[in-house]
Amino acid sequence: MQSRQFQLTSYPEGLPSQDHFELVETELRSPGENEFLVQNEWLSVDPYMRGRMREGESYVKPFQIGEPMEGACVGKVVESRNPQFSVGDYVLGNQGWREAWLSDGAGVMKVDPNVVPLQAYLSILGMTGMTAYTGLLKIGELQEGDRVFVSAASGAVGSTVCQIAKLHGCFVVGSAGSKQKIDWLKEKAGIDAAFNYKDTGDVSARLKELSPDGIDLYYDNVGGDHLQAALDNLNNFGRIVSCGMISRYNDQTPQPGPDNLFKVITKRLRMQGFIVRDHDDIQDEFQKRMTEWIQAGKMHWEETVTTGLEKTPQAFIDLFHGSKMGKAIVKVRE
């Protein structure tokens, strides 16, 4: 069958543009023995992908110029010669940015559209939810009653972090970039306090105002002035979970770090980064607990949906303008 797929034309310097992506058509052969063919229905675009659009060593290899790009996707099996996967099955894989793909089943998981809508396996029940769960509970060692600060709190990961923390009886403060997002955090996610960082001249002072007793755990999705503010306000023996630093992803020259890092020593802080794929050992635990929370109506999530494979690059670029709500996903076709 014919399938369209995106590939990079060059590595961007600074913010990516449409010129860095090319949509090409390729022909997929029929499945061989133990293979099956998947037609994608939903694709994920995520900030971490920006790190794969440059040369150099990292925790995951760069996208290759002229080769199909990758990303989380949910699709339907339309042809199969694999006894473990039948026509009509829905699966979660990593062959995004394209219409269709062949697989032998490695790295592919069946998903049930009767539990949640299919696209939710790219957000609350997918890598996004797993990232929030792992970072907060395993890396951050969240304790009941902790005072928690979450940056990019209305984002896909941040909003999930906020709600898990509230389920554990914590006081939660979040930052976001619009009134709409602040309202959602208070009304839907149910957090205790939230502020618009775009209207706040001094993030540290605002955080102190909203959490005068300090914070015990900072879940960092932003870096920059938010990390500096957290260091100012963390209590002794506080923890920093370093999940992402989106404020720095498109820097062409490295920016200086916070000038108050010495507080890591004086306050005896623990700061740890993590990569979610290193924690597959708790995947089943995550799936079970998150499904229970969803079915009990205790979790809420938002999606920014872009329709049309050809619009995938713009959906990705929009991640860095702060306009989306929740998880950014692409519906491959109408």
Tell me what pLDDT residue 328 has. 94
Same CATH topology for 2-122+301-331 and 127-277: the answer is: no
Q: 75, 54 in Cβ contact below 8 A? A: no
Q: How far is CA 102 from CA 82, 95, 178, 319, 332, in A?
A: 11, 9, 41, 29, 17
Measured between alpha carbons, how far is 145 from 142 in angstroms, rounded to an integer? 9
Above pLDDT 90, what percent of the chain? 88
- Say whether 281 sits in a helix, a strand or coil: helix
pTM over 0.75: yes
Q: Which run of H or of E encompasses 5? A: strand 2-8
pLDDT under 70: residue ranges of the chain = 247-254
From the list 177, 120, 113, the residue with the least C-alpha distance to 303 is 120
Tell me what pLDDT residue 254 has. 67
- The burial class, CB within 10 Å (0-12 / 13-18 / 19+), for 11 is middle
Two tokens at 26?
Answer: 């390729």
Fold for the domain defined by 127-277:
Rossmann fold (3.40.50)
Measured between alpha carbons, how far is 332 from 32 in angstroms, rounded to an integer? 25
What are the extents of the domains in the chain? 2-122+301-331, 127-277
DSSP conformation class of 326: B
Residues 6+ apart with CB under 8 A from 54: 11, 12, 62
Tell me what pLDDT residue 61 has. 87
Strands 215-220 and 147-150: parallel
Measured between alpha carbons, how far is 70 from 11 in angstroms, rounded to an integer? 15
- Report pLDDT digits (tens) over 1-37: 899 999 999 999 989 999 999 999 999 999 999 999 9
DSSP conformation class of 256: P
DSSP conformation class of 34: T
> Which numeric CATH code is attached to 2-122+301-331?
3.90.180.10
What's the mean per-residue pLDDT of the chain?
94
Tell me what pLDDT residue 57 has. 75
Q: 119, 90 in Cβ contact below 8 A? A: no
Give CA 146 to chain center in angstroms.
23
